[in-house]
Amino acid sequence: MLYNGVSFAVMMATPHDLEDFALGFSLSEGLIGSAGDLHAIGQRHLLEGIELAMTVAESAPGARLDRQRERLLPGRGGCGICGTRQLEDAVHQPRHVEAGGHISRIALEQALAALHAHQPMNAATGAVHAAAWADVDGNIVLVREDVGRHNALDKLIGAMHHASIAPETGMLLLTSRASYEMVTKAASAGISIMSAISAPTALAIELARSADMTLVGFARTGSHNVYTHPERLL
C-alpha cells in the first residue's frame, strides 16, 4: 500500500475487490478524511504480490506520512497492537456514531441465517472471513470476503461508499471475533450496530460503549449477547 509514492504497509490479503479495499483501508486507517480525498488507485502486479498505489489529496494525512512512526511489522497482525512503537499509538478512541436505526431480533437472526449462502470463497476454502451489511429487515445487501477479518471489513466499508449506502440504514455482521480494531474501523465508518458470531474482547466492549455503538457477540440462531447500547435492538 503506497500513498503518493510512499510505502505505508504490506498486507496479506485475498486479491479480490482491491478497489474497495484501497478505499476502505484508507478511510478506516485515517489516511484520508473522506472518499473524495482518494483521487486514483493504481494496481501493479509484481512477482511478490500486488502493489496498490493511492493518489490522495495533498491535505490528506496519507500525503504526509512520517517514516519515523511507521509500524515495525509490515501489515496487521492478529491483534492489531503488535508492531506499534508506543502504547499511545496502539489504541485510538473511535468517534461517536449517530443514533442510527433499530433492528429486531428476528431481522438479526434472518441476516445471520442467510450469511452463509453469500460466502462463496469460504464455501470453497473454509478459511476466509466475511463482513456483511444487512438492512433493517435482515436482508443481506453487501458481503466482502478476505483471509483477514480486518481486510474483509475494510473491503465492505469501501464497497458501501462505492454503493452510496448510508451506515445508519442497517447493521454490520462479522464472521470473526469482535476485536477492538474492528470496533474502531466500524465506528470510523459511522456504523452503529455491529454483530459478531464470536466473542468480543474486553477492550472492544469498552470502546463500543464509549463510541455509542451497539455491540452484539456470540450471535447465533436462537441466541446472542448484547454488550453495549441495547436500546437499538427491539
Cα separation, 100 vs 84, in Å, equals 33
Q: What is the pLDDT of residues 20-76, one digit of tens each?
A: 999 999 999 999 999 999 999 999 999 999 999 999 999 999 999 876 555 534 455
Domain count, the chain: 2
- What value does the CA radius of gyration of the chain take, rounded to a whole number of Å? 17
Higher pLDDT pick, 83 / 10: 10
Q: 208 and 111: one domain?
A: yes
DSSP letter string, 166-224: -GGGEEEEESS-B-HHHHHHHHHTT--EEEESSPBPHHHHHHHHHTT-EEEEEEETTEE
Q: 155 and 183: one domain?
A: yes
Q: 80 and 133: one domain?
A: no
Is 43 a domain residue? Answer: yes
Instruction: Give me the mean pLDDT over the 117-125 stretch.
Output: 96
Q: 17 and 69: one domain?
A: yes
Q: 56 and 124: one domain?
A: no
Range of the domain at 173: 105-232
Return the closest-CA partner of residue 35 out of 45, 25, 44.
25
Q: 35 and 136: one domain?
A: no
* pTM for the predicted model, two decimal places: 0.91
Q: 114 and 197: one domain?
A: yes
Is 79 noted as a catalytic residue in this protein? yes
DSSP 93: P
From the candidates 12, 79, 113, 202, which is the catalytic residue? Answer: 79
Q: 166 and 228: one domain?
A: yes
Q: What is the CATH number of the domain that holds 174?
A: 3.40.140.10
Residue 1 near residue 10, CB atoms below 8 Å: yes
Residue 93 is predicted with a pLDDT of 74
- Residue 90's pLDDT band (cuts 50, 70, 90): low
Domain boundary among 56, 90, 124: 90
Domain boundary among 65, 90, 115: 90
Cα separation, 111 vs 103, in Å, equals 11
Is 49 a domain residue? Answer: yes
Residue 91 is predicted with a pLDDT of 65
Q: 66 and 128: one domain?
A: no
Q: 25 and 129: one domain?
A: no
Pairing status of strand 223-228 against strand 214-220: antiparallel
